[in-house]
Chain A
Amino acid sequence: MSIINLLKIAFRALKRNKLRAFLTMLGIIIGVAAVIAMMAIGEGSKQSIRSSLSGMGSNMITIMPQSNEPGGVRLQGSSIQTLKMEDITAIQKLQSKNINGLSPVVSTSGQAIKGGYNWPTTITGVSPDYLNIRQLKLQDGILFSDTDVKRFAKVCLLGKTVIDNLFPDGSNPIGQIIRFKNIPFQVIGVLEPKGQSNFGQDQDDIILAPYTTVQKRITATTYLQSIYASATSEAASAAATTEISDAVRESHRLTPAEGDDFQVRTQAELINTISSTSSMLTVLLTAIAGISLFIGGIGIMNIMYVSVTERTREIGLRMSIGARGQDVLMQFLIEAILISVTGGVIGVLLGVTSAFLISYFLNWPILIAESSIVISFVVCAVTGVFFGYYPAKKASNLDPIDALRYE
């Protein structure tokens, strides 16, 4: 018996019971749609967590001083004065392909004053690279140049919180002069607001100035509080970390026996931790959806059993006019597969649609992976075969004599 004939027979049989076929399908439709929507939401939230972390500079590497003396009073990193400009030069000399940005960081807190207003904040001395490393953007004005760094120019960039507090009347801060610890700074640029960091810090409460200016005119120091660098990619950050570590050790003239008097940290570790949490969420959601798909499969099996019993006489008739056991088996198996695969197709469409509706109305991030569609579709077909086989086998083993006279 040809496969086309089998398909026609199965299709005609389903057509005779449209509502029942649809209700059976519904279990599969809901299961598949749930799997796809859940995976889309899970993957989407994972993606959005990743991108918000990259917003902090996902390739960012920080080098902080630390004590390598196990004895004596151990000091806080910021009061250790081991990081110097020589370390920056040493890293620059590497000309590493893995590093694409490097900036010293010198910061001090104090009162910023403009006219009648004042605001307690922090001034951070950096090089122009810092904006790229931290993924900060200029909203208005210009960035200070390398020349400004060389000449200890009294220029600065302001964050939104500082502007709101020093210029509450909303006037344009660019070109205006503010004072920080009695040093006048000309505002040459305004930073784009970034909002709170993932840890609740206000990332806009910031004044950026050339690090030379801060060192010479405010803090009167030569050491650096930290060094920020950025790796060319997330993948390169491990290699970059090693290179930086080696360069700084060499510049500090540390013998192999001595421990590091600094520490190098990357954001990649943090990102991995957080995305593994969200992966777990995806697995959980998908498992729940998978259970509903399984129940849909049991629904198919149930209906196919009922259908075989109910159509015993039909099976007897088919056998008496020449259907072999195998033909009957294939008919019922194909009916089950038709139900599950049609349900799968509708489920995929419904799942994709509802994922888009969720993202549209609730503004949840979604990401529909092709793999989730392929997987749920294959699972569907397998479900059809698996749960359809036993009822079909039962039908094919009927004795035509008994089946014909079944009441």
Chain B
Amino acid sequence: MEKKILNIQDLKREFVMGDQTVKALKGITFDIKAGEFVTIMGSSGSGKTTLLNILGCLDKPSDGSYQLDGVDVKSLNRDELAGLRNTKIGFVFQAYNLLPRTSALENVELPLFYNKTISAEERKERAIKSLESVKLAERFDHTPSQLSGGQQQRVAIARALVNQPVMILADEATGNLDTRTSYEIMALMQELNAEGKTIVFVTHEPDIAAFSTRTIMLRDGKIQKDSINLNQRSAKEALAGLPETDDY
């Protein structure tokens, strides 16, 4: 039996706004096993972002349980959540969120600064290795403004990888990119998945979801559909199939 990375039981999240209570998540249950590539889909207002915040340990559920790599998230305080984010989760954001005027290498090193057990040499070594794995080894002294959007997102992925997390959590990671670059990023994600990384990818684009192994559809705070993707599309092939003129 494969190891469960995530275990969610009847997860609920409510927001109190004035005298109104908004139910963003109305009881969600699913697990994610090690090595899965899951896309979470849903239209605007479906509770996608709320679920992502909880999965990323940025927010806590109002009710129900969430276990990440065997740790019950609900019982943790603010600082413990920060520690969990540092060691177990690698975030990739839509807007990259790289530090401006800071080299790619220093950006990738950043999560390791918040991990006391890692020495300065190890930090640099791991950052370089991480950049190599996203094929940006020769660019590590470039600042974000000297990199293209796709390259910036690859730096962000390298940053997510550097702490060797149990799960990469991507939030619309291809949202700011053109089709070709999106496919390149997805190809990289597939490659990392093939190496055994667990990936949770939040998106609203169905063609991106086709690259994953499993899709969870959210609607109105509930799971509408949870299906295994039997014919996973290869991003490399999709990239080869793109017409040359698309390259603008």
Contacts and interface: CB of A to CB of B under 8 A. Distances in A.
Where chain A touches its partner, the secondary structure class is helix
B113 A400 contact: no
A328 B58 CA distance: 16
Interface stretch (B27-35, B38-46, B78-86): B78-86
Interface string B136-165: 000000000000000000000001000100
Contact of A322 (B59, B82, B99): B82
A12 B115 contact: no
Contact of B79 (A313, A326, A401): A326
Given A322-B85, A324-B82, A12 B97 contact: no
Given A326-B79, A400-B58, A404-B97, A321 B91 contact: yes
B114 A317 contact: no
A325 B79 CA distance: 7
Contact of B87 (A318, A322, A325, A400): A322
A273 interface: no
Chain A interface extent, by class = 20 to 34
A322 B83 contact: yes
A95 interface: no
B27 to A, nearest CB: 22
Interface in A123-182: none
B78 A322 contact: no
A223 to B, nearest CB: 90
A68 interface: no
Contacts of B221: none
A368 B83 CA distance: 51
Nearest to A403: B58
Contact of B97 (A5, A16, A313): A313
B110 A321 contact: yes
Chain B interface extent, by class = 20 to 34
Nearest to B103: A12
A314 interface: yes
A201 interface: no
Contacts of A12: 102, 106
Contacts of A2: 116
A8 interface: yes
Contacts of A316: 97
B241 interface: no
23 contacts: A2-B116, A8-B113, A16-B99, A16-B100, A314-B97, A314-B99, A316-B97, A317-B97, A318-B110, A320-B56, A321-B85, A321-B159, A322-B86, A322-B87, A322-B111, A322-B115, A324-B114, A325-B78, A326-B79, A400-B58, A401-B58, A401-B59, A404-B97
A-B pairs with lowest CB-CB distance, top 4: A322-B86, A322-B114, A321-B111, A16-B101
Interface of A: 1-2, 5, 8-9, 12, 16, 313-314, 316-327, 400-401, 404
Interface of B: 53, 56, 58-59, 78-79, 82-83, 85-87, 91, 93, 95, 97, 99-102, 106, 110-111, 113-116, 159, 163
Given A321-B86, A323-B114, 4 more contacts: A8-B113, A16-B99, A318-B114, A323-B82
